[in-house]
C-alpha cells in the first residue's frame, strides 16, 4: 500500500455526483453505471473516477482489478462511499485472475461486494512505496489505524470482522470461494449481469436501500484519452497549433530564401550598373564587372557595338546566360 501516492484525492462523491435514489419509472429498465478500476492506480485513475458522475442511477458499479493505492486515498474513497446515501455502491472483483489487494478497503466499504471465480481479495498490510515494512512506532500506528478502518467497514456492512483485521495485520488474502464462505463478500458470480440479478431486491445497510438491478441497462464509462494517458487534449491542441505555426513559419522562411536567391542572382542584376572589363561586341561577347562579379555580356543594340573597356554600362536584360548591357547616359559622349 503506497502512502506517498495520493490517487483519488477527489472524493467519490464526484463519481456518484448528484445521483439521488431511484427516479426511473416502473416500466423503464434501471440504469447501472459501470466504471473499471484496473492496473496501478495513480492520478489518472483519480481523474477517471471523478469524471464518472451520473444522475438517477439505480446503482454504481466499480469493476476492480488493482493492487490499490495509498491509505489516505482509501479513506477518502470509503468516506465517499459511506456518505452517498441515495445510491448503492457495488464492487465487483473481475475478471477471473483479478485481485483487490489494498483495494480491499474499497470492497469492504461498498454496499454490495462481489467477486468473480478465481479472484483474490486482501493482503492489505501497510507498507512503504518500496514494498518494505514501516518500522517502529510509525508502522504500529499506521497498521492500527488501517485495521480499525477495515474492521469498522466490515462490521457496518455485516461482514466478517476477524478476517478484515487479519487482512491488514497479517496480510491475509483469500480467494473468491473462501470470501463467500467467510461472509466477506455477498456474491461470487461469473459476470456482472449475474451479480446484479443476484443482488436485486437486497436491502443494504446502513443506507437502508433496496436494490432494483435485475435486467439493468449497463452504462459503461470508458476512460477518456486524458484519463488513459495523463495528457490533456487541450495540450495536444496547443501542440498542434504550435506545430502548424512552426510549419507555416518554415514555409515562409523557405519562400523568402528562394525569393532572395532569385533577386540576388542573374535576374536581380537587371538595372544594376557595372564596368566593361573586356570589350563587349556582338558575336564575340565581352565581360563586365557588376555587383562584385564578372558576367559575360552582349550589347543591347548594334549602335552600342562595340562597348570599350572601362565604359560604364547598365544591365537591361538576360540572354542565354549573358547579361545584355548598354552604356549609361554618363558614358555616352555628347554630340556637338
Q: What is the pLDDT of residues 7-18, one digit of tens each?
A: 343 434 444 543
What number is the average pLDDT over the span 275-281?
A: 92
- One domain, residues 206 and 280: no
141 is catalytic: yes
pLDDT tens column, 80-106? 778 777 889 899 999 999 999 888 998
Of the listed ranges 157-161, 220-224, 319-323, the one predicted with least confidence? 220-224
Contact 84, 12 (CB under 8 A): yes
CA distance 208 to 88: 9
Statement to judge: residues 122 and 70 lie in one domain: yes
Give the integer Cα–Cα distance in Å for 44 and 202: 34
Q: Which of 70, 80, 102, 110 is catalytic?
A: 102
- Distance between CA 57 and CA 34 in Å, rounded? 10
Mean pLDDT of 272-297: 89
- Residue from 129, 141, 224, 232 carrying the catalytic annotation: 141
For this structure, is 232 an active site residue? no
Residue 42 and residue 81 in contact, taking contact as beta carbons nearer than 8 Å? no
Alpha carbon distance 79, 27 (integer Å): 34
Alpha carbon 136 to chain centroid distance? 40
Residues 110 and 259 in one domain: no
Instruction: Return the ∠ at Cα 84 (arms to 47 and 225), rounded to 5°.
Output: 15
The mean pLDDT value of the chain amounts to: 81
Q: Which residues contact 291 (CB under 8 A, 6 or more apart)?
A: 269, 272, 274
pLDDT class for 336, splitting at 50, 70, 90?
Answer: very low
> Residue 197: what pLDDT?
96
Q: Which three cell numbers stand for residue 32?
A: 447501472
Total count of domains within the chain: 3
Domain holding 291: CATH number? 2.40.50.140
Residue 107 has pLDDT above 50, yes or no: yes
Q: Which pLDDT does position 164 carry in this prediction?
A: 96
The model's pTM: 0.62
Task: Give the domain extent around 319.
Answer: 267-331
Position 336 in a domain: no
Query: What is the average per-residue pLDDT within 222-230?
Result: 67
Task: Work out the pLDDT band at 178, boundaries 50, 70, 90.
Answer: very high
Amino acid at each position: 500500500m503506497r502512502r506517498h501516492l495520493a490517487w483519488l484525492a477527489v472524493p467519490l462523491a464526484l463519481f456518484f455526483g448528484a445521483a439521488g435514489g431511484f427516479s426511473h419509472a416502473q416500466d423503464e429498465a434501471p440504469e447501472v453505471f459501470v466504471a473499471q478500476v484496473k492496473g496501478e492506480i495513480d492520478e489518472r485513475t483519480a481523474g477517471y473516477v471523478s469524471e464518472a458522475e451520473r444522475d438517477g442511477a439505480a446503482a454504481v458499479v466499480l469493476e476492480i482489478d488493482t493492487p490499490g493505492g495509498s491509505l489516505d486515498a482509501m479513506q477518502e474513497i470509503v468516506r465517499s462511499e459511506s456518505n452517498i446515501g441515495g445510491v448503492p455502491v457495488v464492487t465487483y472483483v473481475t475478471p477471473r485472475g483479478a485481485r483487490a489487494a489494498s483495494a480491499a478497503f474499497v470492497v469492504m466499504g461498498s454496499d454490495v461486494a462481489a467477486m468473480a471465480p478465481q479472484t483474490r481479495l486482501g493482503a492489505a498490510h501497510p507498507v512503504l512505496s518500496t514494498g518494505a515494512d514501516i518500522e517502529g512506532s510509525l508502522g504500529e500506528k499506521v497498521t492500527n489505524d488501517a485495521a480499525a478502518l477495515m474492521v469498522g467497514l466490515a462490521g457496518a456492512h455485516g461482514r466478517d470482522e476477524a478476517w478484515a483485521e487479519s487482512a491488514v495485520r497479517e496480510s491475509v488474502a483469500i480467494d473468491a470461494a473462501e470470501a463467500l464462505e467467510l461472509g466477506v463478500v455477498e456474491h461470487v458470480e461469473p459476470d456482472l449481469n449475474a451479480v446484479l440479478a443476484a443482488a436485486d431486491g437486497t436491502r443494504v445497510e446502513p443506507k437502508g436501500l433496496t436494490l432494483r438491478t435485475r435486467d439493468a441497462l449497463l452504462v459503461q464509462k470508458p476512460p477518456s484519452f486524458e484519463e488513459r494517458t495523463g495528457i490533456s487534449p487541450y495540450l495536444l491542441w496547443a501542440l498542434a497549433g504550435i506545430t502548424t505555426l512552426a510549419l507555416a513559419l518554415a514555409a515562409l522562411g523557405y519562400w523568402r530564401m528562394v525569393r532572395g536567391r532569385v533577386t540576388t542572382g542573374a535576374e536581380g542584376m537587371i538595372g544594376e550598373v557595372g564596368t566593361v572589363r573586356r570589350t563587349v561586341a556582338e558575336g564575340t561577347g565581352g565581360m563586365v564587372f557588376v555587383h562584385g562579379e564578372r558576367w559575360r555580356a552582349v550589347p543591347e543594340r548594334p549602335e552600342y557595338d562595340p562597348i570599350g573597356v572601362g565604359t560604364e554600362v547598365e544591365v537591361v536584360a538576360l540572354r542565354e546566360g549573358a547579361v545584355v548591357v548598354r552604356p549609361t547616359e554618363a558614358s555616352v559622349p555628347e554630340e556637338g
